[in-house]
Amino acid sequence: MPEESVAEAAIAWFDANARDLPWRHPDAGAWAILVSEVMLQQTPVVRVLPAYAAWLARWPTPAALAADEPGEAIRMWGRLGYPRRALRLHECATAIAQRHDGVVPDDLDLLLALPGVGTYTARAVAAFAYGQRQPVVDTNVRRFVARAVAGQADGGHTTRPADLVATAALLPDEPAVAARASAAFMELGAVVCVARSPRCTICPLVERCAWRAAGRPALDGPSRRPQTYAGTDRQVRGLLLAVLREAVEPVPRPRLDVVWPEPTQRDRALRGLIEDGLVDPLPGDLFTLPKGP
């Protein structure tokens, strides 16, 4: 009898321990899964949960979102962070409505061509919504594979082709089983093989983990540079956009000026938001969330 594979062990653990998340329910279609994946880009599950439910209640289909204003998508995004994701998701819905008859495509290259859909999200939709055999590599999977298989600490970099290859090598042949394995790897990385204090004592793969066998070595090279926030343009953009999200009517400039005392940075942030399409300037020095083309 062959030794149980990494994927088999992960799936067995997943069968018994998976969190009950709405985008994993059988009734979650490709659109719901796509929405969840975009929301989960750099935002923790607990904060996505309520936003996900509200979003799909309002826009159950890509066509429904496409028919609404982009500014409404930005408003609904609330405080999930990186509001450009909301704008891209609106653009994405428009593209799906126009180019794909309102149906989220199942072809990887067509998915990759959608706004806001990159290496990770495209494969996540292909695997989780359409049951394809695709390596789905996010920060959790990267860390898990780097440790368990390569015996190394993950550098915190973004996913590279080599990461896809390494993960693909772990996937069973049967597409549906491979997709299940991808979900299991992700869950393992998210709740067991976590970044700071990995819970090796409850890990189903601890016996064969290369990282643990090597004495849990720390990161080799220089770690990811610290992400500062206080005093950055990002913070100022966030403050400006928060005002516009709450406002029903177009906002006069003085109401934006009060959020940040330094005019040079404040103006740069506002210009950046306009440049990015997150804010529309109106005649009379008024500003609003975008109404669309």
Partner DNA sequence: CACACGTGGTA
Partner DNA sequence: TTACCAAGTGT
Select from 271, 268, 270 the least CA-distant residue to 255: 270
Q: How far is the CB of 189 from DNA (least distance, A)?
A: 7
* SS3 category, 241: helix
Q: How far is the CB of 194 from DNA (least distance, A)?
A: 6
Distance CA 119, CA 86 (A): 18
124 binds DNA (CB under 7 A): yes
126 binds DNA (CB under 7 A): no
Binding to DNA (CB under 7 A) within 9-48 occurs at 21, 23-24, 36-37, 40-45, 47
∠ CA 176-65-129, rounded to 5° = 0
Distance CA 39, CA 43 (A): 7
Stretch that binds DNA, among 53-61, 183-191, 210-218, 249-257 (CB under 7 A): 183-191
280 binds DNA (CB under 7 A): no
Nearer to DNA, 4 or 17 (CB): 17
Read off the amino acid at residue 162.
A
116 binds DNA (CB under 7 A): yes
Write the CB contacts of 82 (distance below 8 Å, at least 6 apart in sequence): 41, 42, 43
β strands within the chain, DSSP E: 251-252, 280-282, 286-288
Distance CA 78, CA 91 (A): 18
Is 207 tagged catalytic?
A: no
Q: How far is the CB of 180 from DNA (least distance, A)?
A: 13
Query: Which chain residues interact with DNA by CB under 7 A?
Result: 21, 23-24, 36-37, 40-45, 47, 79-84, 88, 115-122, 124, 138-140, 143, 156-160, 186-187, 189-190, 194-196, 223-227, 229, 232-235, 237-239, 241-242, 272, 278
Cite the active site residues: 37
